[in-house]
Chains A and B, each alone.
Chain A
Amino acid sequence: MGAGTEGAKARWRRETLDPAARPSGGRRGPFTTISDRPVEVLYTPEDLADVDPARDIGAPGSFPYTRGIHATGHRGRLWTMRQFAGFGTPEQTNERYRQLLAAGSTGLSVAFDLPTLMGRDPDHPLALGEVGKCGVNVASLADMEALFAGIRLADISTSMTINAPAAMIFAMYLVAAEQQGADWTALSGTIQNDMLKEFIAQKEYIVPPRPSMRLVTDVVAFCTREVPRWNTISVSGYHIREAGSTALQELAMTLRDGIEYVQWGLDAGLEVDAFAPRLSFFFNAHSDFFEEIAKYRAARKVWAHVMRDRFGARSERSWTLRFHAQTAGVSLTARQPWNNVVRTALQALSAVLGGASSLHANALDEALALPTADAARLALRTQQIIAHETGVAGEVDPLGGAWFLERLTRDLEIGVLEYIERIDRMGGMVAAIERGVPQREIAASAYRFQQAVERKDIVVVGVNEFTPGDDRPVEILYIDDHATEWQLARLDRVRRQRDRHSVERALASLRAAAGSETSLMPPILEAVRSYATLGEMCDVLRDVWGEHEEPATF
């Protein structure tokens, strides 16, 4: 390149950087993001030749929302500090919720145990040792009543992490609210109800992908009519990232999943602007600070274009991507667990700077067990310190316009658009999942990451470097088997006290609906009211649609 055409950046590199770097040699690389994306030493306006500030970055509250979906950002309203919690019996979790609400938490978030997530009653052989271990056990309406006893459901917003049996658990929530005298139209909250990421990453599925998608779509259609303030699907990248994907894969797979749900809704006869505003997103807040902020910004921009240009949505509420973020569980270390407080704070900060609508900060002991009450409170305090002491919540998208950040945002957008096209060519995400495509991509990324850690190309403080240190064990929450006995006793009581004929009638209607094309929500509500158990309802679906099993490959 002749001197005449040499740009300012190239000249800086030749005249200033190279002479400065030569004597010191500099730090050993590689200089990449945690997702293996190469990072240059400096970014300048020359790196943004393909970015038109007005068109691509815009202003907060206006299309394409790169800088945020609200003009006022967190100045208008702080994000919801929503700490995911649940363990043991409904009574034990109910007590934790009351503590969290008293400590200033502004929404509840229910963690269910594995038998519940898999649609198995506590007395099923596969539930052995699992009742109440990873979350709260809910097997029937009686448990849901106990879970929210004394908490007015009309006055709070509740998020429920439930997927394969989402329709049944949601129906239990609706009936419990109804018993409190709450009107369904007043209820607000979210059910995760995202089966695609279950098949891709989290692997808590019951029936095969296509009937699973039908159940998801039935819930969406039902809420659109009956529970209009409810968020019907939380399209989740969180678990995709936890399973080992890169930031780009997390974003691309999640947005393509969102497209799949919208398409199924349209195919079921719904009007796009009637249901799209109630889709929300859930991303991971991982450790690479700038890459994560860029990920949230790119997400908003791509989604706005997808909804307007691909689906022809006309409502602004369909164009805007709202998201919940949770700090990266997978980044927590069992060794030197106090370091996790710092990791989590930085991850939470990236989510705030990226415009999260709600946030969960992990507790320091979560690589060891479910959090103790003290650890959970410290995680909430971490959020409160970011909100009230750092000053970052006073302006919208404070890092917007940083050349590095805008370059990363644009690169992620380009990568996502390519991925969407690739999945489109395969016939959509359900087809790609059936061929095992995203599953294999994630497993490969997870292994590459682990190899980089072993080579120390990626440093994990306290694990592969800086290992001598304070390894005193932290006090952990030990969950005994009390929950199993308690839940088995209630299950037994429920089965003895309910009217057997109503249960049988309701389960027969559910079976008939599953075998036809009618909505599953009315028979599920009927079954819940009769105190049919979660396992009984899911067994009907297993029976009609078959159980899904994934080929065991690695």
Chain B
Amino acid sequence: MRTVRVVLAKPGLDGHDRGAKVIARALRDAGMEVIYTGLRQTPEQIVSAALQEDADVIGLSILSGAHNHIVPKLMSLLEEQGLDDVLVLVGGIVPDVDIPRLKALGVGGVFPPGTPMREIVDFIGAHVRSRTGP
């Protein structure tokens, strides 16, 4: 089985990259290939990175409250690009009332502050769809 490839991105304007960097190291140490996009990425930039990197998973770290704008846009861009089988995960500060809405858009999992790294690694293991190679 090929190595799971994860594009980890920080959309929005905030610069709180502690969570993203910790998760990046944890996924790498769990044997995944991690591509970190850095700060302030637009949905377009994230989708293009996922396409180029042939990502199995997109992890979004959002702490600014902008998830209701960013996620819908990202999901529709993924669909346009035929990447709707990519597992999309959101980590950060997301009010409970918004979680069902994000899941209805196709987000696989939402992980609030304090989620053990192990839980995220296991979740990816259980839910990543093996993408067919060329």
Do the two shown chains form a genuine complex with each other?
Answer: yes
Q: Which A residues have a C-beta under 8 Å from some C-beta of B?
A: 114-115, 117-118, 120, 125-130, 133-134, 198, 202-204, 242-244, 330, 332-335, 367-369, 443, 446-447, 450, 453-454, 460, 463-464, 473, 476, 478-479, 549-554
Known A-B contacts A114-B14, A446-B18, A454-B116; the reply to A368 vs B95 at CB < 8 A is yes
Known A-B contacts A369-B95, A554-B24, A554-B25; the reply to A126 vs B114 at CB < 8 A is no
Query: B36: shortest Cβ distance to chain A, in Å?
Result: 5
Task: Give Cα distance in the complex from A553 to B36, angstroms.
Answer: 7
Known A-B contacts A244-B18, A454-B116; the reply to A129 vs B36 at CB < 8 A is no
Set of chain A residues within 8 Å of B113, measured between Cβ atoms: 332-334, 367
Which residue, B14, B20, B118, has most C-beta atoms of chain A within 10 A? B14
Nearest 9 A/B pairs, CB to CB? A203-B15, A552-B38, A129-B69, A129-B66, A133-B65, A114-B13, A554-B24, A554-B21, A334-B112
Set of chain B residues within 8 Å of A126, measured between Cβ atoms: 13, 40, 42
Interchain CB contact (< 8 A) of B12 among A129, A443, A551: A129
Query: A538: shortest Cβ distance to chain B, in Å?
Result: 13
Q: Which B residues have a C-beta under 8 Å from some C-beta of A?
A: 12-18, 20-22, 24-26, 34, 36-40, 42, 64-70, 93, 95-97, 112-114, 116-118
Task: Give Cα distance in the complex from A454 to B115, angstroms.
Answer: 10
B14 engages A242 (CB within 8 Å)? no
Set of chain A residues within 8 Å of B112, measured between Cβ atoms: 334-335, 367
Set of chain A residues within 8 Å of B68, measured between Cβ atoms: 129
Task: Give Cα distance in the complex from A538 to B17, angstroms.
Answer: 24
B13 engages A443 (CB within 8 Å)? no
The main secondary structure of chain B at its interface with chain A is loop
A369 engages B22 (CB within 8 Å)? no
Task: Give Cα distance in the complex from A359 to B116, angstroms.
Answer: 31
Task: Give Cα distance in the complex from A128 to B15, angstroms.
Answer: 16
A127 engages B17 (CB within 8 Å)? no
B37 engages A552 (CB within 8 Å)? yes
Which residue of chain B lies nearest to A450 when distances are taken between CB atoms in the complex?
Answer: B22
Known A-B contacts A447-B21, A553-B36, A554-B34; the reply to A127 vs B114 at CB < 8 A is no
Which residue of chain B lies nearest to A333 when distances are taken between CB atoms in the complex?
Answer: B114
Set of chain A residues within 8 Å of B22, measured between Cβ atoms: 244, 446-447, 450
B93 engages A369 (CB within 8 Å)? yes
Set of chain A residues within 8 Å of B42, measured between Cβ atoms: 125-126
